[in-house]
Structure 1
Amino acid sequence: MVIAFLSGKGGTGKTLFSVNLASLVKDSVYMDCDVEEPNGHLFLHPEILNQVPVNKIIPVFDPDLCVGCRQCVDFCRYNALAFIHNQVHIEGSLCHGCGGCKIICEHQAVRETAHEIGHIDIGKSNKINTMTGWMNVIEEAATPIIEEMFDHVDKTKLVFADCPPGASCSVMACIKNADYVVVVAEATLYGQENLKLILELLTEFNSHYGIILNQSNTQDNPVKRYIMERNIPILGEVNYELELAKRSSMGEIVSISKSRYHSMFKKFLYQILKEANYE
């Protein structure tokens, strides 16, 4: 089963919860799908056992076979192609590697080549299996790396997927591969507006989800009020604690090191698995 941890914005505590919960389950998998800025390894310090390169297929145009018909340029919906000075030019950052230009070319002037956009580190941290996605500098397409991660992960295990923030294509790649979604929200008006975006997305995907409220000890909690008015399951609440913040900022896995937090995260885990109908 894949449990995805999402948020409408960064800094709400996705990594805090996904790392600490994964650490409570023997032979679980922690997936860091935030491939632009992965940070779960700062907590887990995994031993890397294997590294899998991730490639994007991009077209290469043969000027000797190209007749300048521009059918490929007109076909490309991502505006990655342009016909300039009697040659087809490609903007690699815009190309999605769909292969359409090769299919539509009647003169076999297009071949495809692999371009490495990142890699996946597969490792082990004590009793936890780890997968960390890394996108190369200057690359822009995170989704192929995330899709490759889900292709490699053993979904017969309990998988905790630490997903990117926001509501972009990379987040959608996580949602469509998840069996249950945990949304981590913070108790601010800004947090509420970003929460609305992710909830709209989850509704579009018809996802099964619940919410954890982080930093919830405010007198007027607009996010909690918003959630309760819509009868959305609240999986748990965490008040702001300086001790928890300090320990987490030092990369400490508090669900293992501190008995009080161990009990707290155990309760969260039980509630999540209950809502997800995990057996």
Structure 2
Amino acid sequence: MHSTGEDDSLANKKKVTVEDVFGPDLHIHDPDAKWLSGNELLYRERDGDVVRLKVDTRNRTVIVRNQLFDRSRAVKYQVSPDMKHVLFAFEVKPIYQHSYLAKYIIYSLSTQETWPLNPPEVHEAVLQFAGWGPQGQQLIFIFENNIYYRSKVENRSIRLVSTGKEGVVFNGLADWLYEEEILQTHVAHWWSPDGLRLAYMTINDTLVPKMEVPFFTGMPYPASLEYHYPKAGEENPVVHLSVVSLNGPLHTCGDEETR
């Protein structure tokens, strides 16, 4: 038999609800830490502030206040290499294991100005990717499977490639096969360390047969989606690797094809 003390202890324990499971209290905090240099670290604290830490002196500087995340409804963030701007992602919608769609704004840490990140002539675009380059304020984003480049946050975006086709031709992004099975990421582009060049994959699934995959979550009846997936003996995606120069006139520097 339980003693009275044990019965009281059990009665006072709160049952775990569905809201508890999906709430912040039962989630592990991910600091999303990144090295800025050999002795500087950028990470997000549990209270939401983004902090730069000098590991040798333990000097701590708040770079982005948590209030900015609340104000922007931001789910993800990236600080520019010059530490002057933040790229906020909001209305994030997952696609596959790594990929997602989102809207983006750029926020100036010095002037508090904001700029929406959109292709020319498009408003409130939902982007497949956005990220800073390795130098200054340069960044790229991907919209409708095409890559756009901006040398500075105030500058107009330049389209680097225009061959993208929804669900078929992917520029700088992985298709479902490459994201899940090969690259283990949706990112299929790579900067040179000096920021002068960008290498990117073009994945063409035109000849790849489709496979229907059922989904059993989120609804009472299963749904299905079709993916280009090469089984044994079938056509693989056609993959090109290109390098574009970002210094001066834009041109493709090299090209390779694989199957």
Greater per-residue strand proportion: 2
> Could you say whether these structures have the same fold, taking a TM-score greater than 0.5 normalized by the shorter chain as the test?
no
Q: TM-score range by the shorter chain?
A: under 0.3
- The TM-score with structure 1 as length reference comes to 0.26
- Structure with the higher helix share, 1 or 2: 1
Task: Tell which has more relative contact order, 1 or 2 (C-alpha 8 A, sep 6+).
Answer: 1
